[in-house]
Chains A and B, each alone.
Chain A
Amino acid sequence: SAVISQKPSRDICQRGTSLTIQCQVDSQVTMMFWYRQQPGQSLTLIATANQGSEATYESGFVIDKFPISRPNLTFSTLTVSNMSPEDSSIYLCSVLGGVDGSYEQYFGPGTRLTVT
């Protein structure tokens, strides 16, 4: 299994500002994912981040709003830009692991963001 840490664990931010969330994994992984969970909702995939290539964004999410970096196989950042109250969510980092192609997915503890 993979152990994932995220920083910060929570933050309260003012509208119009930006926040960068860090994700660190204890092993090298090819595929990393960023999810958003709005209050009372299930998880929605924001983007897939592979090392050495541009992130692939899902419909409804754009790079200008959610720029992602993936400098190596154990680390990624997600920035939430020009925040509004609608961005208040839990943001979760996730990696694809598992042995022999089992493709088990693991999640970090999440970053709880409140925008005022």
Chain B
Amino acid sequence: KQEVTQIPAALSVPEGENLVLNCSFTDSAIYNLQWFRQDPGKGLTSLLLIQSSQREQTSGRLNASLDKSSGRSTLYIAASQPGDSATYLCAVRGDSSYKLIFGSGTRLLVRP
């Protein structure tokens, strides 16, 4: 059974810092991995999608990497801003299922 873990659970950084959020999964037989952002009480916004054959994806100040064999993904946020404050969720899709399995999220606070 796939399990997804995100570390740290919460993170507080001053504005301008570069930071890394971690995601690990127990079953390496994945189809893809998706990073989402969730603002309090809101839905999820898709940030980056990485297919199992890819090593990384970039969008603006965000870069996500994937090491399928070791069951790890990282989300790198460059030059953090207060507007980046949100919960970041990692989710994996198995290669034999349409289901997304979510981690518990990292709650990020970027202080001005």
A interface with B by C-beta (< 8 Å): 1, 4, 6, 31, 41-43, 45, 48, 90, 92, 94, 96, 98, 102-110, 112
Known: A96-B98, A102-B51. A42 touches B32 (CB 8 A): no
Interface flag for B61 (CB, 8 Å): no
List the B side residues contacting A1 at CB < 8 Å.
46
List the A side residues contacting B104 at CB < 8 Å.
41-42
List the B side residues contacting A42 at CB < 8 Å.
89, 102-105
Known: A41-B104, A42-B89. A104 touches B44 (CB 8 A): no
Interface flag for B24 (CB, 8 Å): no
Interface string of B29-72 (1 = CB under 8 A from A): 00110101000011111100101000000000000000000000
Q: Which of A31, A90, A107, A112 contacts B98 (CB 8 A)?
A: A31
Shortest CB–CB separation between residue B37 and chain A, in angstroms?
11
B interface with A by C-beta (< 8 Å): 31-32, 34, 36, 41-46, 49, 51, 89, 91, 93, 98-100, 102-105
Known: A42-B103, A45-B99, A96-B98. A105 touches B89 (CB 8 A): no
A-B contact count (CB 8 A): 54
Interface of B is mostly: strand
**B98 near A48 (CB under 8 angstroms)?**
yes
List the A side residues contacting B51 at CB < 8 Å.
102
**A104 near B36 (CB under 8 angstroms)?**
no
**A103 near B98 (CB under 8 angstroms)?**
yes
Shortest CB–CB separation between residue B31 and chain A, in angstroms?
6
Besides A107-B45, A110-B42, 9 other CB < 8 A contacts? A6-B43, A43-B44, A43-B100, A45-B100, A103-B32, A103-B98, A104-B49, A105-B93, A107-B43
